[in-house]
Amino acid sequence: MTPSSPLEAWGLLPDEWKPLCTELGIPPYRATQILTGLYQNFAQSWQEITTLPKELRDILAAHILLQPLEVVTTQASEDHVTKLLLGCTDGERIETVLIPSKGRMTQCISTQVGCNFKCAFCASGQYGRVRNLTAGEIVGQVMAACALMRNAQQPSEQDTANQPGKKFELPRPGNIVVMGMGEPFDNYDNMIKALKILNHQKGINIGARHLTISTCGVIPGIQRLSDEGLQFELSVSLHAPTDELRNKLLPVNKRWPIAELIATCKQYFEKTNRLITFEYTLIKKLNDQPEHAAQLIQLLRQLPCKINLIPLSPVEGFDGERPDDRTSLSFLDTLIKAGFNTTLRKSRGKEVDAACGQLRLRTIKGE
C-alpha cells in the first residue's frame, strides 16, 4: 500500500485493532465487536456493524476503508469450479477461483495484478506486473468468496424451523492456495500479512496447514519464509528436471538455477521439518517422457518432499499441449514406484479458463 492510500479493514491484523481504536478515540474494547462484525458476520460496510453506535461507525468509515471488491463476472464450469473476476478500487482486475472438493472449498487467490516472471505457459505473465495487491485486497478475495458461499448456503426459514438447535457452519473456504495471478514472494510482506489474517483465530481462522504458498523458485523468499516459524505449506513450481529445459519454461531459472533451488529447499526442510510440494506441469513430449521422470527422481532423491503433477491447461501464446491420460498416469506411476508421494491433479474448470490469469487476459484482449 502506498503511504497515501487509506487503511483497509481487511488488511489489518486482529492485534492492530485495539491500538488503532485508541488512536481514533474509540474505546479499545470495541475492537472485539469490530472483529466479530468483520469475520463472523462478514459485514460489507461499517454501517452493517450495528453493535457499534452510529457515531463510532461514522468515525471508522471516515478513516478505514471497508468495501468489498466489485464482482465483475462470475463463471461456473460444469464441475462447479467458479471463477470470479474482481475489480479493485483503481479499476484493476484480479481473479480468484473456487474449487469444491470432498465437502471442502479450496480457493485459489492472486497476489499481484499480472506477473513479472513470464513463465512460458502462464497467462498471468504475458503483460508483466502492473502492481502488487495490498493485504486488504488479498484478504478481500476470500471475503468475496465468503459472501458468495453465504448466499449459496443461506438456510431457508423452513430449515431453521425444522432444526432449531443446528449451527450452520460459517461460510468460508477450507483451503487457500496462493496460486492465482502473481508471484507471492515478489509481494512478500503483503502476502504474508494477508495469510496471517486468514489464519488468525479472530480473523478468518483457516488452519496454517490449509494455507499454501506457491513460488516459481524465488530463493530469497523461500529462505525468508524458513526463518518465520510459520506453519504455512510451501509449493515450488519445478516443471523441469534440467536447467536446459527449465530455462526455456521458467526464465527465473536463469537467475536461480535448479542446483541452488534444490539446495535451498533442502535447507528449508532441515530448518522447518516441513515437506515441500514440487509442482510439475506435464507438457506433451516436452517434459512428460520416461527420461524426464528418471531425471526428476535423480534430482529429488535426497530431499523428502511431495510431488504434484498438473496436466497443462492450454493457453494462447504457448504452443505446448496437454499429454494424454495414459502418459500422465505412467509418469505418476514411475514416481510412485520410485517411492515419491505423488499426486496427479485432476484438471477442473476447463470451460472457465481456470489456469491463472486466463480470464483477466481475455477481458484485456476484449474477447
198/356 with CB nearer ligand SAH: 356
95, 360 contact by CB (below 8 A):
yes
Stretch that binds ligand SAH, among 46-54, 118-126, 204-212, 258-266 (CB under 6 A): 118-126
235/272 with CB nearer ligand SAH: 235
The C-alpha cell of 83 is what?
Answer: 471463477
Binds ligand SAH (CB under 6 A): choice among 137, 279, 288, 353: 279
211 binds ligand SAH (CB under 6 A): no
190 binds ligand SAH (CB under 6 A): no
- Catalytic hit among 8, 21, 95, 305: 95
Clarify whether 95 is annotated catalytic. yes
26/139 with CB nearer ligand SAH: 139
Write out the binding residues for ligand SAH, residues 298-357 only, by CB under 6 A: 310, 312-313, 315, 355-356
Q: Which of 273, 324, 276, 270 is nearest to 299 (CA)?
A: 276
Residues in CB range of 302: below 8 A, 6 or more apart: 266
137 binds ligand SAH (CB under 6 A): no
Task: Give least dist CB 362 to ligand SAH, A.
Answer: 14
B/e letters for 232-267, b = 16+ CB within 10 Å, e = fewer, are bbbbbbbbbbeeebbeebbbbbeebebeebbebbee
86 binds ligand SAH (CB under 6 A): no
Residues in CB range of 145: below 8 A, 6 or more apart: 84, 96, 98, 105, 107, 172, 173
Residues in CB range of 31: below 8 A, 6 or more apart: 14, 17, 18, 20, 21
Residues tagged active-site: 95, 356
* Footprint on this chain of ligand SAH (rule: CB under 6 A): 119, 121-122, 179, 183, 214-216, 237, 279, 281, 310, 312-313, 315, 355-356
